Structure 1
Amino acid sequence: MGEFWPVPDALAHLAGRWRVERSVRDLASGDEGRFEGVTVFGPLAGGGLLHEESGTFTWRGVARPAERTLRFLPGEAPGTADVRFADGRPFHGLDLASGRYVADHPCAADLYRGEFTVLDRDHWRTVWRVGGPAKHLVLTTEYTRVN
């Protein structure tokens, strides 16, 4: 098996339920947090997938419920996705044809750079590096398919 696992159709690959484990490191303060939960990629009316993540986020010793919703719409090229926030604002593109993809998302003065890596049929990872005047973070998320 190579370092990356090519995925010809991102939406078809992501559909279903995934266990999520995320580490969050604040490089400025040294604080570390953790999110544990599930992400469900379910059918979205009109095509695409609704990404619904829920679980527990622990930061500075305090555990709180956390959730987020994204929309993964069919991209311009076959097999790609156009990822949007729940309110429809653009987030980033996604093309997993090579098994790896890098996306940028400017947010105010900060820049989010995400690296998506598909390890095999049932495992993938994202590493978001956030840099700028407001944030200096690294968020690493491991996804494992739940059968």
Structure 2
Amino acid sequence: MGEFRPVPDVLAYLAGRWRVERSVRDRASGAEGRFDGITVFGAPEVGTLSHGGLSHEESGTFVWLGVPRPAARTLRFLPGPTPGAADVRFADGRPFHDLDLTTGRHTADHPCSADVYRGEFTVRDADHWRTVWRVAGPAKDLLLTTDYARVG
């Protein structure tokens, strides 16, 4: 991908509904899976965030080894040090990663036990962005690629 779209206000950019398509590949076994669903970046429930930000609610179907099952997750995107940045947290408030899309591209790391998640975030245009997480360590060797397309 050559050109990235700078995002001056990351929370304003993300707000709304996004179609999500995620491929998951276990690089050790060669197994592959897919998630299809919707992510809504919206106002958090009262009392869940004391500093504003957005709630990230993802839901859909994850197919692994041919078996479909419902899947969902919740993240919190809090305002970062500048409007182009955010502090991403798990639903319970634990830190996940930083995010700064002022250049349209960002990399972030997240240690999880002995494994390390390295994420690359790229903004293509006003309605499309992508994340690629590479997970490496003794427990996991995964590649997760997620494409987001704005709905509506």
TM-score, normalised via structure 2 length: 0.94
1:73-112 superposed matches below 5 A: 73-112=78-117
1:103-142 superposed matches below 5 A: 103-142=108-147
Q: Report the counterpart of residue 35 of structure 1 in structure 2.
A: 35
Distance 1:122 1:107 in 2: 31
Partner of 1:4: helix, strand, or coil? coil
Q: Report the counterpart of residue 55 of structure 1 in structure 2.
A: 60
Whichever residue aligns with residue 145 of structure 1, its letter is: R
Whichever residue aligns with residue 64 of structure 1, its letter is: R
C-alpha contact (below 8 Å) 2:128/2:148 kept by paired residues = yes
Whichever residue aligns with residue 6 of structure 1, its letter is: P
CA offset at residue 89 of structure 1?
Answer: 0.1
Distance 2:54 2:131 in 1: 18
C-alpha contact (below 8 Å) 2:108/2:118 kept by paired residues = yes
Whichever residue aligns with residue 60 of structure 1, its letter is: L
Q: Report the counterpart of residue 12 of structure 2 in structure 1.
A: 12
Distance 1:16 1:70 in 2: 14
- Segments of 5+ residues of structure 2 without an aligned counterpart are none
CA offset at residue 63 of structure 1?
Answer: 0.1
Whichever residue aligns with residue 9 of structure 2, its letter is: D
Whichever residue aligns with residue 4 of structure 2, its letter is: F
CA offset at residue 3 of structure 1?
Answer: 1.2
CA offset at residue 139 of structure 1?
Answer: 0.1
Partner of 1:28: helix, strand, or coil? coil
CA offset at residue 111 of structure 1?
Answer: 0.3
Whichever residue aligns with residue 3 of structure 2, its letter is: E
Is it true that 1:65 corresponds to 2:70 in the alignment? yes
Partner of 1:97: helix, strand, or coil? coil
Q: Percent identity of the aligned residues? A: 77
Runs (4+) of structure 1 moved beyond 4 Å? none
Partner of 2:71: helix, strand, or coil? strand
Partner of 1:23: helix, strand, or coil? strand
- Segments of 5+ residues of structure 1 without an aligned counterpart are none
